[in-house]
Amino acid sequence: MTASASAPATPLGYKIAVLVFIENEAGEQLLLHRAKSPNLGRWTPIGGKLETAIGESPFECAVRETREETDHVIAVSDLHLFGMIAEKAYEGQSHWLLFLFHCRRPIAALPPAMDEGHFGFFSRTAIDELPLPDTDRTALWPIFDQHHSGFVAMRADCDPGHDLHITIEQTLSGA
């Protein structure tokens, strides 16, 4: 059997993670300026990988990551799952399955810096001027704007050798 021209020489594994979109009382988004890869030097929502060895759910992961990264204590009921994106060949390193959550409980203050980076609050307009990952600029923030009270499932072809291509697979409007 021969490999197709588009298949990578070494198969890439999947990483499963969450991103949590949190606002302060003024409606500004909390973002992390990443000090580590992936997304080194770029502003992103908080998040992290699921602890698959213990069977952690995406909701449990979002609660844990929010507490670990910001000390903001939330419950599953504070979260709204508004999106899921499958990123193929992100940075040519791996595939990612990301669950996107909107936290309905505002955060009171800017969290202190940590080894993964430092935080800032930004208006939605200001975010468009920040250094962001390509998929965040092209897909995540526009999707947040349109679907944070509903749901959207999408896939992104992030292969570095090709143009970023986003496909929306399903949308549901908010109640």
pLDDT reported for residue 156: 83
CA distance 83 to 106: 19
Of the candidates 18, 106, 29, 27, the residue with the CA atom closest to the CA atom of residue 64: 18
pLDDT reported for residue 1: 39
pLDDT reported for residue 91: 62
Q: Residues 119, 20, 133, 30: is their CA dihedral positive or negative?
A: negative
Paired strand residues for 22: none
Domains within the chain, CATH numbers bracketed:
14-105+113-172 (3.90.79.10)
- The angle subtended at Cα 136 by Cα 117 and Cα 83, nearest 5°, is 105
Q: Widest CA span of the chain, in angstroms?
A: 58
Q: Which secondary-structure segment (H or E) carries 96? A: strand 94-103
Question: What strands lie across the sheet with 43-44, from one edge to the other?
Answer: 43-44, 29-34, 117-122
pLDDT reported for residue 149: 92
- Pick out the chain residues at pLDDT < 70: 1-10, 89-94, 174-175
| pTM (predicted TM-score) | 0.86
- Say how many CA atoms lie within 13 Å of 45 toward its Cβ: 26
